[in-house]
Structure 1
Amino acid sequence: MTSQSQGIQQLLQAEKRAKDKLDEAKKRKGKRLRQAKEEAVAETDQYRMQMEKDFRLKQAKIMGSQSHLSDEIEEQTLEKIKELNGSYNKCMESVIKQLLSMVCDMKPEVHVNYRATN
C-alpha cells in the first residue's frame, strides 16, 4: 500500500510540476506578447515620425516655391502697372486733344437717310 501511496504522491508531484511549468510558460508567453506589442508600437511610432518629417520637408519645399512664385507674380504685376502708367501719361494729352476736337468741331449736316416729311 505504501508503494501505491508513494506512486500517487509521485503522480501528484509530477502533476504539480507540470502545472508549474504550464504556468511559467503562460507567464513567458504573456511577457513575450507584451514585449512584441511594445516593439510594434515603437516601430509604428518611429515610422510615423519619419513620414511626418518627410511630409513637412515636402510641404516646406512646395510652400517655399509657392511663396517664390507669388513674389515673382507680384513683381511682374508692379512692372506691368508701371508700364501702363507710362503709356497712359505718354498718350493722355493726344487722346484728350482728339476727344475735344471731335466734340468742339461739329459740322452740322443732314443725315443721308433723313426723309423730309410735310
Structure 2
Amino acid sequence: MIVATGRVVVTSAVDIVAKYRNLSDSEQILYIMASSSSQGGIQQLLAAEQEAQHIVNAARSAKLARLKQAKDEAEKEIAEYRAHVELEFQKKVAASSGDSGANVKRLEQETEAKIHHLKTEASRISQDVVEMLLRHVTTVRN
C-alpha cells in the first residue's frame, strides 16, 4: 500500500508498525487518514468481491437449473416419441396379423377349390385314360 506522502510502502502488519514509528507527527496524521480511507476502500472492495461472488453463484445456480430443465424436457420428448413409435408399430403388427389370418383363410379356400377341381377332372377323364392304356398295351406293332 502506498501512503499519502508517497514515501512509505507497506507490505505487512510488522512493516506498518515500524514505518509508523519512524514518521513525524504530521506524517503520522496523514498516514492515519490514508489508512482509514484505504481501509474503507478495502472494505468496499471486499464487499464488491462478495457481491460479485454472490452474482456468480446465482448465475451458476440458474445455469444448472436451466440445464436440468432442458434435460427433463428432452427426456419427456424422448418418452413421448418412443410411445408414439411403439403405438405405430403395434398398429402395424395388429394389421399384418389380421391380414395374415385372412391370407391363411383365403389360401385354404383356394387350395380346397384346386383339389376339388383336380378330383373332378380326374374322375371325368379316368375312363378315357384307362381305355387309352388298354389300347396301347394290347396293340402289337410290327
Where relative contact order (Cα < 8 A, 6+ residues apart) is larger, the structure is 2
2:38 maps to 1:4: yes
Higher CA-based Rg: 2
Choose which of 69, 72, 75 in structure 2 pairs with 1:41: 75
Cα offset, 1:94, TM superposition: 2.5
TM-score (norm 1): 0.80
Runs of 5+ unmatched residues, structure 2: 1-34
Task: Could you tell me which runs of 5 or more consecutive residues in structure 1 were left unpaired when the two chains were aligned.
Answer: 110-118
Shift of 1:78: 1.3
Q: Which moved more, 1:52-61 or 1:7-16?
A: 52-61
CA distance in 2, matches of 1:94, 1:47: 70
Equivalent-residue separation in structure 1 for 2:127 and 2:80 (angstroms): 71
TM-score calculated relative to the size of structure 2: 0.68
Superposition RMSD on alpha carbons, in Å? 1.6
Aligned-residue offset at 1:17: 1.2
2:40 maps to a residue whose letter is: Q
Matched, 1:64 2:98: yes
Spell out, residue by residue over 1:10-60, the C-alpha distance to the aligned partner (whole angstroms, 9 max, x if none).
210111111111112101111210121111011111112101211221232
The equivalent of 2:63 in structure 1 is: 29
